[in-house]
Structure 1
Amino acid sequence: MGVLISPIVFAADSGLAGLLGNPILPVLLIVPIFYFLVIRPQQQQRRKTQDMLGSLKTGDRVLTTGGIYGTIVGFRDGVVQLQVANQVRVDVARSAISGLAAEESDGKSDSSTERSAGGRETARSQAAGKGKKP
């Protein structure tokens, strides 16, 4: 008689435990989570990068994936010609451009405004408010 009762007992317990006992349900819950946490942000980043590469124009200052800063001076079939110094031009693939370079406020780099004499404060320490007051 115990054998006949046990299927009835298990059949009566078909609430939430029976729903979560189905192995396909966790997979169906993971797929949308994976989409919103991984796939969608990658698609948005790719779209943003493609828009940036499509809007490049002559005169833009860019940074390549190799870490080279340059100014765009020309375009050819998927190749961008950058001027990296006076009389120095480099051809790079359009896909090798990682983004537009940040514009500097006064046109000088931080290293050129630092003072080299000992004991004097640098431009960086002045900007940070850590320098000596006159």
Structure 2
Amino acid sequence: MFVSPAYAQDAGAGGALVSILPFILIFAIMYFLLIRPQQKKMKEHRAMVEALRRGDQVITAGGLVGKVTKVKEDGEIEVELSEGVRVRVIKHTIQSVTSKTEPAKE
């Protein structure tokens, strides 16, 4: 008839760890499946942009294909889309480099 108060006891510190464990596992999975690959991709893109040189064939994020004619220090490059048509482009909008020029032999 009467319920003993002993049944309502706390599970202790082990229960708290077990209840937090799923959140830790979810964060670890999110890190390895989403965050880490994105950081790696950003690092590769940054290295590609820093390695741009005159003569490289590039594709911009807008889909323009051209050849780099001048690399400026302020984060811009000059791209020649066709003969006599040159545009200034922000370095970080370069999506990919289709062909690299060989470094000058010294």
* Runs of 4+ residues over 2 Å off in structure 1: 18-23
Which residue in 2 is equivalent to 1:99? 96
- Greater relative contact order (Cα 8 A, min sep 6): structure 1 or 2? 2
Query: C-alpha distance in 1, partners of 2:19/2:88?
Result: 54
Which residue in 2 is equivalent to 1:34? 30
- Where structure 1 has 5 or more consecutive residues not aligned to the other structure, the ranges are 104-134
Which residue in 2 is equivalent to 1:130? none
CA pair 91-5 structure 1, distance change in 2 beyond 3 A: closer
Secondary structure of 2:55's counterpart equals coil
Q: TM-score, normalised to structure 2's length? A: 0.77
Pick aligned residue for 2:63 from 54, 63, 67: 67
Whether 1:48 and 2:41 are equivalent positions in the alignment is: no
Q: Which has the larger radius of gyration?
A: 1
Deviation per CA, 1:113-134: give whole Å up to 9, x if none.
Answer: xxxxxxxxxxxxxxxxxxxxxx
Give 1:23 deviation, angstroms: 3.4
Which structure shows the bigger proportion of residues in strand conformation?
Answer: 2
Query: C-alpha distance in 1, partners of 2:17/2:67?
Result: 60
Which residue in 2 is equivalent to 1:80? 77
Deviation per CA, 1:91-134: give whole Å up to 9, x if none.
Answer: 0000110011269xxxxxxxxxxxxxxxxxxxxxxxxxxxxxxx
Paired residues, what number? Answer: 97
Root-mean-square deviation (Å)? 2.7
Q: Which amino acid aligns with 1:28?
A: I
- Where structure 2 has 5 or more consecutive residues not aligned to the other structure, the ranges are 101-106
Q: TM-score, normalised to structure 1's length? A: 0.62
Q: Which amino acid aligns with 2:7?
A: P
